[in-house]
């Protein structure tokens, strides 16, 4: 497209990354102020279960995380500027060119170099988050050995995945002069589907141990619920989440008939069987209401447009030069597009957050339709307490960032609907 050659991509890109920085850090600042404004008195809904000391602890924890989020955002800005206009991608590409003239191998080497650099830069932040913030507020169970093993497992896994993805795209570009972006999209989509099937049995066990849920007081009501809502699952599993943290959660993993329901062992220690049934009904609601399929569909559509735009920009050297890339190879151009693309769509985050929050309310409705709603309420309150969730988030911050509605909004919605059912 000729229009691409007329655009000042340097100005556009710099404007976007600084706009993102200003907006997101302004929201962080607002959220900190909002927590401090409401920190004196425990919100009425939680006054019977959360003490003043626990509330102070929760607020301090959330403020610490927000300050860390601010530092991380500054670090991300510096890193992206170094990669692009700082010449890091150019340097890495030159180094790869000196090693090989095979583009697919070049893609692998560039990807490996990027992953290693990214992981090394992330180490101090991960250490601070895990052993300073999480440990200070009583959530960390991660030992140094586990942390190191996690680092190397993640590093190897990331290297394997990025090597497969980038080399596959490069091979397709080399062999198809037109519509290569479409064939790339289809190939990566197939690869992602394979990963969905492999994740529960091959990838997840690399980091955690999974065992069947055997506790009958939890197992019986769950199996009864699964039968009631006609949900097929390949297994009820318990994950040793306590290896790393005291936070509790539950989730689905797998795809199609390969779905598994996984509970954190920490969750089973804090909630009752009735509360577990209500929380699981919420998760089942996502599946039965088509939220998972809709989410996958949206992701697929976005991926399609991402590859389509890559196809448009690929032959426009001004796009890549405008982002500081002077060493123009097949793999360096694809890599740079991958690195900068998220900054062009960051403003869509509130839309995705809104859609996600809407689905959470719908899943809550599904839960109170099939279980006793009072247990959903008590379960959510316990989860909020045990995870030190922010009980008073700034409205603008939550609208931008939160994939789940603030806990107070969920409780208000549940109480209103349960009251309507009684009347």
What would the two tokens of residue 349 be?
Answer: 């985050």
Condensed to tens digits (0 to 9), the pLDDT of residues 54-112 reads 999 999 999 999 999 999 999 999 999 999 999 999 999 999 999 999 999 999 999 99
C-alpha 161/C-alpha 345 separation (Å) is: 23
Residue 11 confidence (pLDDT)? 94
The burial class, CB within 10 Å (0-12 / 13-18 / 19+), for 73 is middle
Residue 260 confidence (pLDDT)? 77
The burial class, CB within 10 Å (0-12 / 13-18 / 19+), for 418 is middle
Condensed to tens digits (0 to 9), the pLDDT of residues 361-412 reads 999 999 999 999 999 999 999 889 888 999 999 999 999 999 999 999 999 9
The pLDDT of 199-218, averaged and rounded, is 86
Which of the pair, 386 or 358, is modelled with greater confidence?
Answer: 358
Helix, strand or coil for residue 147?
helix
Condensed to tens digits (0 to 9), the pLDDT of residues 291-315 reads 988 998 999 999 999 999 999 899 8
Write the CB contacts of 234 (distance below 8 Å, at least 6 apart in sequence). 254, 257, 258, 259, 260
**Hunting for tokens 């409780």 — which residue is that?**
411
Residue 254 confidence (pLDDT)? 67
Residue 220 confidence (pLDDT)? 85
Catalytic residues: 283, 364
Which of the pair, 113 or 218, is modelled with greater confidence?
Answer: 113
Q: How confident is the model at residue 255 (pLDDT cuts 50, 70, 90)?
A: low
pLDDT exceeds 90 at position 44: no
- What predicted TM-score, i.e. pTM, was given to this entire model? 0.88
Residue 212 confidence (pLDDT)? 87
Residue 128 confidence (pLDDT)? 95
Domain ranges (residues) in the chain: 1-180+305-423
pLDDT exceeds 80 at position 423: no
C-alpha 109/C-alpha 107 separation (Å) is: 6
C-alpha 9/C-alpha 30 separation (Å) is: 31
Summary mean pLDDT of the chain: 90
The pLDDT of 204-222, averaged and rounded, is 87
Q: How confident is the model at residue 234 (pLDDT cuts 50, 70, 90)?
A: confident
Q: Computed from CA positions of residues 143, 139, 119, 205, in that sequence, does the dihedral angle turn out positive or negative?
A: positive
Residue 230 confidence (pLDDT)? 83
């Amino acid at each position: 497209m000729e229009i691409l050659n007329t655009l000042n991509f340097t100005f556009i890109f710099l404007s976007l990354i600084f706009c993102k920085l200003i907006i997101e850090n302004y929201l962080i600042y607002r959220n900190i102020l909002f927590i401090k404004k409401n920190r004196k008195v425990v919100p009425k809904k939680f006054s019977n279960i959360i003490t003043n000391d626990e509330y102070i602890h929760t607020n301090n924890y959330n403020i610490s995380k927000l300050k860390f989020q601010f530092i991380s955002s500054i670090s991300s800005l510096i890193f992206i500027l170094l990669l692009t206009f700082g010449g890091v991608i150019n340097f890495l590409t030159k180094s790869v060119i000196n090693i090989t003239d095979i583009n697919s191998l070049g893609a692998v080497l560039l990807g490996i170099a990027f992953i290693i650099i990214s992981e090394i830069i992330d180490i101090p932040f991960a250490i601070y988050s895990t052993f300073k913030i999480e440990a200070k507020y009583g959530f960390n169970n991660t030992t140094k050995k586990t942390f190191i093993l996690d680092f190397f497992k993640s590093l190897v896994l990331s290297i394997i995945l990025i090597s497969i993805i980038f080399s596959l795209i490069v091979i397709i570009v080399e062999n198809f002069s037109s519509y290569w972006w479409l064939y790339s999209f289809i190939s990566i989509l197939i690869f992602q589907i394979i990963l969905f099937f492999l994740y529960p049995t091959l990838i997840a066990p690399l980091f955690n141990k999974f065992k069947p849920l055997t506790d009958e007081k939890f197992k019986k009501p769950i199996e009864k619920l699964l039968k009631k809502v006609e949900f097929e699952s390949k297994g009820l599993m318990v994950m040793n989440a306590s290896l790393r943290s005291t936070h509790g959660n539950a989730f689905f993993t797998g795809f199609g008939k390969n779905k598994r329901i996984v509970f954190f062992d920490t969750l089973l220690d804090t909630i009752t069987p009735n509360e577990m049934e209500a929380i699981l009904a919420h998760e089942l609601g996502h599946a039965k209401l088509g939220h998972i399929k809709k989410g996958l569909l949206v992701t697929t559509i976005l991926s399609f447009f991402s590859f389509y735009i890559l196809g448009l920009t690929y032959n426009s050297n001004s796009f890549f030069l405008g982002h500081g890339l002077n060493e123009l190879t097949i793999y360096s151009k694809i890599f740079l597009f991958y690195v900068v693309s998220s900054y062009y769509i960051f403003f869509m985050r509130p839309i995705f957050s809104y859609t996600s929050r809407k689905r959470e309310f719908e899943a809550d409705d599904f839960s109170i339709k099939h279980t006793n709603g009072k247990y959903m309420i008590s379960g959510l309150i316990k989860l909020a307490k045990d995870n030190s969730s922010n009980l008073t988030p700034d409205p603008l911050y939550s609208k931008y960032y939160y994939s789940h509605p603030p806990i107070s909004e969920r409780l208000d919605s549940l109480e209103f609907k349960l009251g309507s059912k009684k009347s």
